[in-house]
Structures are given as C-alpha cells and as structure tokens.
Structure 1
C-alpha cells in the first residue's frame, strides 16, 4: 500500500498600506470567519507562482491591477488551523485602478483602518501577520 504524500493549502495575503492605514475586508456569507476582518487573500490555483496568485486575487476581490515588480513578499507563516497551511504575505507599493469591493456577496465592508489600531474582530492570524510586518518579522509559526 502506497502512503499518500502529505499536501497542504498555500494562500496569499495582500497588505495594502497607505498613510499609516491598512485595507481590511469583512468576510460575509462565506462559511469561514464571517463577520471578521481579513485582507485581500486567496489560495494558489496551481500552476501559478505566488506573485501571480496575488495579482489575480487583487483584481478579483478589489478590482486593482498590480504589477509583479510592485509586490514584495514580507512574511511567511506556517499555520495550523483545521489543517496545516502555508501563508505568504505580500505588500504592494503601488497599484492601478480605484479599490472597489468586487465580491459584495462575500465581503460586506472594505475599509481603511489604522495599522496600529485594528478592529477587535480582525482574524487572529491576520492580526499576528500585520504585527509581524510592523516588527520586521518575516517568518512565523502560528496555531501549534
């Protein structure tokens, strides 16, 4: 009997920051962390690199176009929730188009918040990743 090789989901998360504020979205009607704030994020679909996945998610969720050379990977988190995951956190220094909620059926608020005063209902690992970014911590293990 051949043992199945272990696999885990990989996700990308976008930290959009301007003038000391960070863009957060409140999840709605998704079945995961509904009512809590997160950042623009999504899973790799396969056959795409981390930056390409982030570019795709930014367009799908916020209607913005980001070029790969405007994205910087600022953090990686090996996280355990219901399953093990690898999360990449990226910052964009510029983008095209106005930010707009492209998925109102999954997001009921898309707003800027002070980066050092996040809403109480920010998803805990997202809050930790933002704190890591502020502190210059590029790798973390969370949820073990």
Structure 2
C-alpha cells in the first residue's frame, strides 16, 4: 500500500422500484462498458448517508433524503486499485425525480433491470454488494488472500 494512504470509503446506492434495480453503464478506464451502481467516494466531513444521497443526485439526478436510505451491505475490497476500499451499500426505495444520465462523460447509459436478471457485465465490486443485498448478508470480503472460503454442503 502506498505510504500515507488508507482504505478508501465508497458509497453505493441501490435505487429499487418494485423488483427492479437501476444500473449505470460506465465509460473510461475503470469498468468501461460495464454496469455499475450510482456511487462515489466519501468526502471529508460527510456522513455516509449524505454522501450516498449526493452521489445519487450527481450521477442520476434523483433527490434522496439521507433519512430514507437503508444500509444493506458493507464489503471490504482488496485488489481494486492501489489501496483497499470499504464499500457501503444503501437501498433507496423513494426519491424525487426521474433517473437520467447527469454525467455523460463518465456514463453511457442508465437502465432498470430485474433484480433477479441482471446483465452479465456488472463490475465485480458492485455486483458483490448487489448479491449480498439479495441474500440479506450485511458484510463481505472481496479479493483478500486470507478471505474465508465458503463451506460447501
């Protein structure tokens, strides 16, 4: 890990309507052409729910009251860049506005998908949080060498 750098904290927003989830198609070096959730880094002095609401507004133009966000999963991620990341996932089931692409330089599409029929090309990091959300798991690890292996029946 580079000197002086610690774990990056990311927030991810699962905008859910009925049984559908909103995904955005990324542009650029990280995950270009693949699907992701509205997300971003926690800013200094910002609470996690406030950051998640801000990211939803910045990326897809919806206004979410931070009090309406429900924490659904946290994942500690290794090998997703030069330093580890802590991804905090929030579910939003109410918001104001219709989701649309507010960052066309970073995103090429905004689409709804059935929660049980997601596209094959979702970036593994957000996909881990989405799967955990569907399974009701509150915490997970991704990419760690000492990651516990699941017990197979």
State the TM-score, normalized to the length of structure 1: 0.92
Structure 2: any 5+ residue segments left out of the alignment?
145-153
Contact 1:11 / 1:43 at 8 angstroms: preserved in 2? yes
List aligned pairs for 1:1-144, cutoff 5 A. 7-28=6-27, 30-81=28-79, 82=81, 83-144=83-144
User: CA offset at residue 125 of structure 1?
Assistant: 2.2
Report the Cα distance in structure 2 between the residues aligned to 1:55 and 1:129, rounded to whole angstroms. Answer: 17
User: CA offset at residue 114 of structure 1?
Assistant: 1.1
SS at match of 1:109: strand
User: CA offset at residue 72 of structure 1?
Assistant: 0.8
Structure 1: any 5+ residue segments left out of the alignment?
none
- Cα RMSD, aligned residues only: 1.2
State the TM-score, normalized to the length of structure 2: 0.87
- Regions of 4+ moved over 3 Å: none
Report the Cα distance in structure 1 between the residues aligned to 2:142 and 2:21, rounded to whole angstroms. Answer: 22
User: CA offset at residue 5 of structure 1?
Assistant: 5.6
